[in-house]
Amino acid sequence: MSSPILPPEPTALESAKAALERIILNPAYHDVLAILKAARNGAVYGAKVRFPHALVMVFLFRPGTLAEKTSLVIRATRTHAQNLARFAVIYKLVCYVLKNWGASPGKEGKYDTMLAGLVGGYAVFGGRGKRSGKISSVNQQIVVYVFARVILALARLAVKPASADGFAGGLPFLSRPDVSELISYYAWPVFAATSWGAVMHIFRYHPEELQPSLRSSMTYIYQQSDTWDGLRNFMWHNK
């Protein structure tokens, strides 16, 4: 009678993988591991967003050699990735501390996320360069991007009518259904027109106050389009 065929013994690599999976799937470690994953996700997202943007903006609108442009792209990508990863770690860590050692241990407080965002924003995006003393252009872009989205969200909240789920509505009068509908219909074209009118005026008379990549792209489109000396730099080459 033949002996039963036994499954092969797991290799050292398979055993290590199984042990690691037991750790990462253990609920007791979930909150701490979530901080590590947030750092990973922040770095990956920052690199994916910044690299193509920096590649286009630097190679189209920045002067310099190939090596200088490549260095600028790498530096901007690294800064964006590092800062989003750092912010994610600080934010999740502060939330974790407040949840477990705050006013109500084991329960998330109403303003925990705001406080964590304030701490992370100050620590990561509120500083200046150690050598230059200037605010990083990458950090400026990130903060201005977030600020614009916050203003748009607050504008929507201001005219949002009360709902059945308990939301009390936005500002008095503005959140009345008839007024809210009227404002929502006309607000965007007014906002778009005002934004473009303001930026074109600033670009014309105070271009140094605009963010560098915006200023470079506007110079390319609106100033350098005024000059040419032949068909070559009218159709195919800008200069």
pLDDT, one tens digit per residue, over 162-197 is 775 555 667 777 778 888 888 888 888 888 899 999
What integer is the mean pLDDT of 1-23?
A: 78
Residue 30 placed within a domain: yes
pLDDT category at 17 given cuts 50, 70, 90 is: confident
Residue 34 placed within a domain: yes
HEC secondary structure over the chain: CCCCCCCCCCCHHHHHHHHHHHHHCCHHHHHHHHHHHHHHHHHHHHHHHHHHHHHHHHHHHCCCCHHHHHHHHHHHHHHHHHHHHHHHHHHHHHHHHHHHHCCCCCCCCCCHHHHHHHHHHHHHHCCCCCCCCCCCHHHHHHHHHHHHHHHHHHHHHHCCCCCCCCCCCCCCCCCCHHHHHHHHHHHHHHHHHHHHHHHHHHHHHCHHHCCHHHHHHHHHHHHHHHCCCCCHHHHHCCC
- At 62-96, the pLDDT tens digits run 889 999 999 999 999 999 999 999 999 999 999 99
Residue 114 placed within a domain: yes
pLDDT of the residue at 113? 93
Residue 146 placed within a domain: no
Residue 3 placed within a domain: no
Q: Structure pTM?
A: 0.78
Residue 111 placed within a domain: yes
Q: Tell me how many domains the chain contains.
A: 1
Instruction: Provide the domain limits for residue 31.
Output: 20-128
Residue 104 placed within a domain: yes
